[in-house]
Amino acid sequence: MAKMNMIAALNSALEHQLERDENVVIFGEDVGYFGGVFRVTAGLQNKFGAHRVFDSPLAEGGIAAIAMGMGLNGLRPVAEIQFADYIFPAYDQIVNEIAKLRHRSGGEFSSPVTFRTPAGGGIKGGHHHSQSPEAQFTHTPGLKVVYCSNPYNAKGLLTSAIESNDPVIFFEPKRCYRGPFYGDPHKVPTWNSHPDGEVPEEYYSIPLEEARVVMEGDNCTVISWGAMVHVAEQAIKDSGISCDLIDLQTLVPWDRDTVVNSIKKTGRCVIVHEAPKTSGFGAEMSASIQERCFYHLEAPIIRVTGWDTPFPHTTEWDYLPSPKRIAEAIRKTQEE
């Protein structure tokens, strides 16, 4: 075990993959010599060579396209999209091409690309360095969508994403790169004292499809992913109500059994995500949960999300779900 922040844990996962599989190549904007604007690929070019870890021209559409071509010709590309907000020039290549290749070719071709991309708010990034566009990919058959939340699961999930023979969009909550985020912008804790900052140096993986039960309780099920897992944890403590907290980890395919079993126990559910509410992945979960748990529900499912507005710069703390809003929602589920 070693103390690692999320950046070091992701770097460790990439290093193991480069060592274990000579077909793994890593590229993107600034990822080579410099090691990435968030330092996730630091040192890897030096260790494995510029043919395996390299800087690409600044064109997300081109990055995605060459990733698809490399992937269908036997490589296992890991492409970094520097900010999730910048993924949209690559959207056609990801959604129409990479996601559909296996199906449209009758299984003759496939391209096991992993797109790593820092997402979410909390760094004063304004509209174009803060968005969390997971729902724009969960709506695309053929893609797996993963959202890590801490160093331990970041390493294990990224390992599985790269090893998956399906294309994966891997979201990294950039606010949590160096420490968990409990919703108070004035406190900047590190991973140093957090149990999930204890990360094995050796290789391991966490299966895609499995949610993580962060804490167990009796009266409400709180579901979240990414940075909001920690905000939800704070909110549960603030509310004083005994809750299950589920970190979904993989959104497609999501771990419905863990969610349904929890709600059958608690009868109440709050879903928290920082992306806008309308057509967010919380809507999909809420619909699926009521299909399965209608007669177990004691109260309406409540979503606590970012607003249906562009992400703001100076007022981001009023945009992101706060411990206060989440705690109020948890309390509200107890009133019925």
Which residues 215-274 are close enough to bind another protein by CB under 8 A? 252-253, 256
Return the bridge partners of 83, or none.
none
Interface pick for another protein out of 15, 42, 62, 198 (rule CB under 8 A): 62
Token pair 């190549």 is at which residue? 25
Token pair 């890593």 is at which residue? 26
Q: Which helix (H) or strand (E) holds 282?
A: helix 281-293
Query: Of 122, 127, 236, 242, which is closest to residue 183 (Cα–Cα)?
Result: 122
Q: Any alpha helices (H) in 42-201, and if so which ranges?
A: 44-48, 60-72, 91-92, 101-104, 135-138, 151-163
Handedness of CA 274, 275, 281, 282 (dihedral sign): positive
110 sits near another protein (criterion: CB under 8 A): yes
Per the residue annotation, which of 16, 127, 128, 129 is the catalytic one? 129
Q: Which helix (H) or strand (E) holds 275?
A: strand 269-276
Interface pick for another protein out of 21, 124, 165, 218 (rule CB under 8 A): 165
176 sits near another protein (criterion: CB under 8 A): no
Interface pick for another protein out of 20, 43, 96, 278 (rule CB under 8 A): 96
**Number of residues located near another protein, criterion CB under 8 A:** 44
80 sits near another protein (criterion: CB under 8 A): no
21 sits near another protein (criterion: CB under 8 A): no
Interface pick for another protein out of 89, 185, 200, 310 (rule CB under 8 A): 89
- Rounded to a whole number of angstroms, the minimum distance from the CB of residue 311 to another protein is 25
200 sits near another protein (criterion: CB under 8 A): no
Decide if 17 contacts 11 (C-beta within 8 A).
Answer: no
From the CB of residue 255, how many other CB atoms can be counted at a distance below 10 Å?
A: 20
Residue 51 annotated as catalytic? no
Q: What is the set of active-site residues?
A: 129
Contact residues for another protein, defined by CB under 8 A:
25, 51, 56-57, 59, 61-62, 65-75, 77, 89, 92-93, 96-97, 101-110, 141-142, 144, 164-166, 209, 252-253, 256
